[in-house]
Amino acid sequence: MKYLSIIFAGIILSLLLTSSKPEKGYYKPLFHFTPETEQQNIPNGLVFYNGEYHIFYQYSPNNDNDNLQWGHAISENLINWKHYPVAFNSNDSENCRILSGSAVVDEKNTLGKQTGGEKTFLIFYTSQSCGLKIAYSTNKGMTWDNFEKNPVVPYNETDDARDPKIFWYEPAQKWIMILSRKIEDDEISRGVSIYSSNDLIQWEWKSHIPGFNESPDLISMKVANRPEEIKWVLFDGDGSYIIGDFDGETFSPETAKMESDNGENYFAPQIWNNIQAEDERTIQAAWIKGEDYTGTPLNEQMTFPTELNVTKFNFGYKLTRLPVNEIALLHGKHYKWTNKNLIPGINDNPLKKIKGTCFHIIAEFDVKTSNNFGFAIRYGKKDIGTEIIYDVKRETLSVLGTTVPVPLVDNKISFEILVDRTSIEIFANGGQVAVTHNLTLVEGSDRYILITNGGELLIKQMDVYAMKTVLN
């Protein structure tokens, strides 16, 4: 791979590019969700209702984690988001910090709070040192009241229960809650506890799964290539997951723990609850943590929404994750190559005419005789850019210090790459492997390279779309 880096560096040094002054909001993500101002944190509650996607998220005015709030935004297409006033102030009436949780629609009016034609929104949240509580809204999340019988799960310093995720379990006609908690006074016992309830108030403990840390999620999906088969996926806060079965009380693992994303900045994935049956998609978003957006009044962003599927491969069950098809709404100028043979050298770069900061790249390659090949993303006079390198012999993908196995399939490999101003998301082989990283935007660095080293590479098909300017 070092030879490919040398070639990239040689190309960059040979180019004379003119830097330009950044436009207003230059470092703000172009097509990833961000708050209007201040700092966001993890998604707390994602819920769909009457054609609208709601996102609630931890929000820190002045980057003050002692003053957490729940931000709120709504979209009809997962692309254009309208921001609304915060759902909660920083502390509830007992002066306990409002931390993470989840949102659901009370379709059956179990809590009895519905007053008109609109179904009640419920938020189950962690009230630090005060237990787990409910807030409800009878006007689609515009205003909220705390439930008069809070807390529904009293505070216990020993078990450190937090991060409630609530969903309706149809076979048993019960509500299920999963919690991050310890069953003993040590971190070794921390995992996911499963509870059930008929009324959303009284919760009965059913089972515990150790080895999970925080922000869990438990979801059911049809197996993509076996639609008559249902599997359940249990997520940890770092995006790792186990596939298995769930009977309403106990989760039974069938796989080892696997990674849904191998990048350094991916955290706390959550699905949108209440997606209607006619859609049949499982849609997820996560927090891209740890970035500082210089020159803007905000900080950090969400991943682009992805569709999840469970597939049965010859080696077993695995989760795949790809951008939702609504991303096509953002496509601008289109570049396309089909069955183009790429030879080693610095003069055969098919991307030489492409210039800009934000692109959607979809590509399939036959590696033929290539030793390694890759992209240089956003290079320029002052910066080598970000290298995405595939080592054919080792069958590994490397980017920004992350190296992950990506096996060839019939000597072929595919990529889908989202390049935004301050992030890069890479999905390989139909979303079997994903890597999410923050990406530094360097003024004047807006060129791209695709190059092969040691042998020929066949571009079976490659589509590159410039992304339209749709700022939140």
pTM check: above 0.75: yes
Neighbouring-strand partners of residue 302:
287
How crowded is residue 21: how many other Cβ atoms within 10 Å of its Cβ? 7
Q: Is residue 31 one of the residues assigned to a domain?
A: no
Over residues 315-331, mean pLDDT: 97
Q: Whole-angstrom Cα distance, residue 47 to residue 32? A: 18
Q: Is the peptide bond before 227 cis (omega within 30 degrees of 0)?
A: no
At residue 94, the pLDDT reads 61
Report residue 164 as tokens: 């409630």
Q: Whole-angstrom Cα distance, residue 162 to residue 42? A: 14
Question: Amino acid identity of 467?
Answer: M
Q: Quickly state the pLDDT bin for 297 (edges 50, 70, 90).
A: low
Q: Is residue 259 one of the residues assigned to a domain?
A: yes
Q: Are residues 342 and 456 in the same domain?
A: yes
At residue 99, the pLDDT reads 86
Q: Quickly state the pLDDT bin for 440 (edges 50, 70, 90).
A: confident
Q: Is residue 317 one of the residues assigned to a domain?
A: no
Count up the domains in the chain and report the number. 2
Q: Is residue 319 one of the residues assigned to a domain?
A: no
At residue 17, the pLDDT reads 34
- Could you tell me the CATH number of the domain that includes residue 446? 2.60.120.560
Q: Are residues 51 and 104 in the same domain?
A: yes
Q: Are residues 347 and 233 in the same domain?
A: no
Q: Quickly state the pLDDT bin for 300 (edges 50, 70, 90).
A: confident
Q: Is residue 88 one of the residues assigned to a domain?
A: yes
At residue 64, the pLDDT reads 64
Q: Quickly state the pLDDT bin for 65 (edges 50, 70, 90).
A: low
Is residue 24's pLDDT more than 90?
no
How crowded is residue 208: how many other Cβ atoms within 10 Å of its Cβ? 18
Neighbouring-strand partners of residue 103:
123
Q: Quickly state the pLDDT bin for 13 (edges 50, 70, 90).
A: very low
* Residue ranges making up the domain that contains 429: 2-24+327-467
Q: Is residue 138 one of the residues assigned to a domain?
A: yes
Contact 209, 180 (CB under 8 A): no
Q: Are residues 333 and 432 in the same domain?
A: yes
Q: Are residues 237 and 377 in the same domain?
A: no
Over residues 334-352, mean pLDDT: 91
- Could you tell me the CATH number of the domain that includes residue 140? 2.115.10.20
Q: Are residues 299 and 331 in the same domain?
A: no
Q: Is residue 34 one of the residues assigned to a domain?
A: no
Q: Quickly state the pLDDT bin for 325 (edges 50, 70, 90).
A: very high
Q: Is residue 314 one of the residues assigned to a domain?
A: no
Q: Are residues 220 and 131 in the same domain?
A: yes
Contact 161, 189 (CB under 8 A): no
Q: Are residues 351 and 262 in the same domain?
A: no
Q: Are residues 245 and 355 in the same domain?
A: no
Q: Are residues 226 and 297 in the same domain?
A: yes
Q: Are residues 11 and 75 in the same domain?
A: no
Report residue 220 as tokens: 């059911």
Is residue 465's pLDDT more than 80?
yes
Q: Are residues 266 and 243 in the same domain?
A: yes
At residue 19, the pLDDT reads 35
Q: Whole-angstrom Cα distance, residue 239 to residue 262? A: 9
